[in-house]
């Protein structure tokens, strides 16, 4: 068996020890004689797995009892609709900050359900910056302020939390669990699981309890947060296997020393790669230095005609999924929690070799 280094933006690399434990428990979970995916979601076993996963997540992120933690389906993309449906009352406006492709998708969807004000945008810099807070044109009594703390495609990340009067809503799909955050600053945090949490199929919503129970009347039952909150996220059949695997990832994170420890490793990984890119005249990254993502590192070659050869050579060197998003081209290395520092070292080694022979 050979496991290669996987730089995929999502579904992304999983910790190897988690996969090994899942393999060992696959046919017979803890002597119960069946696999987790064969259990009733209402069984004591599965309810135990689910509860423990929630507790571990609460511990990792320091989530207080003022917040509900919901395990739902439909990906972060379904949340683009669920958020306005749940949080925007008739006649209200929601503020959105546009920092790239995922912000744009959230904005487009929200407009279907209510009034949207794009309070700030970095489109004028081709999304290579974050709009300065003093230029945000926020609405008085906005239903909420939505932003994308880490743009997975553009590789742009906020290293500060906006202080706004309205509930702050954050799409943390590609940054959650990469470093500590102060959950108390947010009204709602959501994330698709398939990057730093676990397998695709699960979406996590952390919502302040006082924001529940205000959904628009047209809200589908399954998109209404109250439904999940009232039923321990088991109103219907949840993605049990993804929930179990995410629980194993939470335990792995605790064993690594929690999010403080992950931040140190993640910063070291990112600094190494950006440092090499900046020092080279063959590779470049377009993002302003203060807003460079720790998780998603896009870069381009001096000559785009070499992209194909770069990717082919990378595959041969055991470095997978480095192709940039189809909307921007070039390369992108996603270096989530489960991507070890040795993967970054191997990538830099390959990049050096490639630049030397082809540059």
Q: How far apart are CA 76 and CA 109, in angstroms?
A: 12
98, 174, 178, 246: which one binds ligand PMP (CB under 6 A)? 174
Considering beta carbons, is residue 128 or 152 the nearer one to ligand PMP? 152
Looking at residues 6 to 35 of the shown chain, list those that interact with ligand PMP (rule: CB under 6 A): 10
Q: Which residues lie closer than 8 Å to 166 by C-beta, 6 or more apart?
A: 95, 138, 139, 141, 142, 143, 144, 145, 187
Running DSSP on this structure, what letter comes out for residue 39?
Answer: S
Choose the binding region for ligand PMP from 57-65, 74-82, 157-165, 250-258 (rule: CB under 6 A).
Answer: 74-82
Q: Radius of gyration (Cα) for the chain, nearest Å?
A: 21
Considering beta carbons, is residue 152 or 240 the nearer one to ligand PMP? 152
Neighbours of 314 (CB within 10 A): 24
Considering beta carbons, is residue 97 or 351 the nearer one to ligand PMP? 97
Q: State in angstroms the smallest separation of the CB of 206 from ligand PMP.
A: 15
Produce one character per residue of 150-171: b if its CB has 16 or more CB atoms within 10 Å, e if not.
Answer: bbbbbbbbbeeebebebbbbbb
- The DSSP bridge partners found for residue 192 are 203
Considering beta carbons, is residue 56 or 109 the nearer one to ligand PMP? 109
Q: How far apart are CA 23 and CA 19, in angstroms?
A: 6
35, 55, 77, 216: which one binds ligand PMP (CB under 6 A)? 77
Considering beta carbons, is residue 192 or 330 the nearer one to ligand PMP? 192
Q: State in angstroms the smallest separation of the CB of 77 from ligand PMP.
A: 3
* Residue 247 found at the interface with ligand PMP (CB under 6 A): no
The residue whose Cβ lies closest to ligand PMP is 75
* Residue 76 found at the interface with ligand PMP (CB under 6 A): yes
Polymer length in residues for the chain? 359
φ and ψ of 320, to 5 deg: -100, 150
Choose the binding region for ligand PMP from 34-42, 129-137, 170-178, 344-352 (rule: CB under 6 A).
Answer: 170-178
Q: State in angstroms the smallest separation of the CB of 25 from ligand PMP.
A: 26
Query: Number of C-alpha atoms within 13 angstroms, CB side, residue 212?
Result: 17
Considering beta carbons, is residue 176 or 355 the nearer one to ligand PMP? 176
Among candidate residues 82, 99, 78, the one with its CA nearest the CA of residue 159: 99
Distance of CA 152 to the CA centre of its chain: 8
* Residue 171 found at the interface with ligand PMP (CB under 6 A): yes
- Would residue 104 be called left, alpha or beta, if left means φ above 0 and alpha means ψ between -120 and 50 degrees? alpha
Looking at residues 99 to 158 of the shown chain, list those that interact with ligand PMP (rule: CB under 6 A): 102, 148, 152
Tokens for 35, please give them: 């696999």
93, 128, 173, 227: which one binds ligand PMP (CB under 6 A)? 173
Q: State in angstroms the smallest separation of the CB of 233 from ligand PMP.
A: 16
Contact pattern for ligand PMP over residues 192 through 231, marking x by CB under 6 A: x---------------------------------------
Q: Are residues 95 and 117 in contact, defined by beta-carbon separation less than 8 angstroms?
A: yes
Active site residue ranges: 102, 171, 195
Considering beta carbons, is residue 93 or 174 the nearer one to ligand PMP? 174
Residues near ligand PMP, by CB under 6 A:
10, 75-77, 102, 148, 152, 171, 173-174, 192
């Amino acid at each position: 068996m050979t496991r290669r280094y996987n730089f995929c933006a999502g579904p992304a690399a999983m910790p190897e020890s988690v996969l090994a434990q899942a393999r060992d428990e696959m046919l017979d979970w803890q002597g119960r004689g069946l696999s987790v995916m064969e259990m009733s979601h209402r069984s004591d076993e599965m309810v135990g797995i689910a509860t423990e996963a929630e507790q571990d997540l609460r511990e990792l992120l320091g989530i207080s009892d003022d917040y509900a933690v919901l395990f739902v389906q439909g990906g972060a993309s379904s949340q683009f609709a669920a958020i306005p449906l749940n949080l925007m009352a008739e006649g209200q406006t929601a503020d959105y900050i546009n920092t790239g492709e995922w912000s744009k998708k959230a904005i487009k969807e929200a407009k279907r359900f209510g009034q949207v004000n794009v309070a700030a945008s970095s489109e004028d810099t081709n999304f290579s910056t974050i709009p300065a807070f003093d230029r945000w044109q926020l609405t008085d009594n906005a239903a909420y302020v939505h932003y994308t703390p880490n743009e997975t495609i553009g590789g742009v990340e906020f290293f500060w939390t906006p202080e706004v009067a309205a509930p702050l809503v954050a799409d943390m799909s590609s940054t959650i669990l990469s470093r500590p955050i102060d959950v108390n600053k947010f009204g709602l945090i959501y994330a698709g699981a398939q990057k730093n949490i676990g397998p695709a199929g699960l979406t996590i919503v952390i919502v302040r309890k006082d924001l529940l129970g205000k959904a628009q009347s047209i809200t589908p039952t399954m998109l209404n947060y109250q439904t999940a909150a009232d039923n321990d996220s088991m109103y219907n059949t949840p993605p049990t296997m993804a929930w179990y695997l995410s629980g194993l990832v939470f335990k792995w994170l605790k064993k690594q020393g929690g999010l403080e420890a992950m931040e140190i490793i993640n910063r070291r990984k990112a600094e190494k790669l950006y440092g090499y890119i900046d020092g080279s005249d063959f590779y470049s990254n377009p993002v302003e230095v203060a807003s460079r993502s720790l998780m998603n590192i896009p870069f381009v070659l001096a000559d785009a005609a070499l992209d194909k050869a770069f990717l082919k050579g990378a595959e041969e060197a055991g470095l997978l999924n480095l192709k940039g998003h189809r909307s921007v081209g070039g390369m992108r290395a996603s270096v989530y929690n489960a991507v070890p520092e040795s993967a970054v070292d191997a990538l830099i080694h390959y990049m050096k070799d490639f630049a030397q022979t082809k540059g």
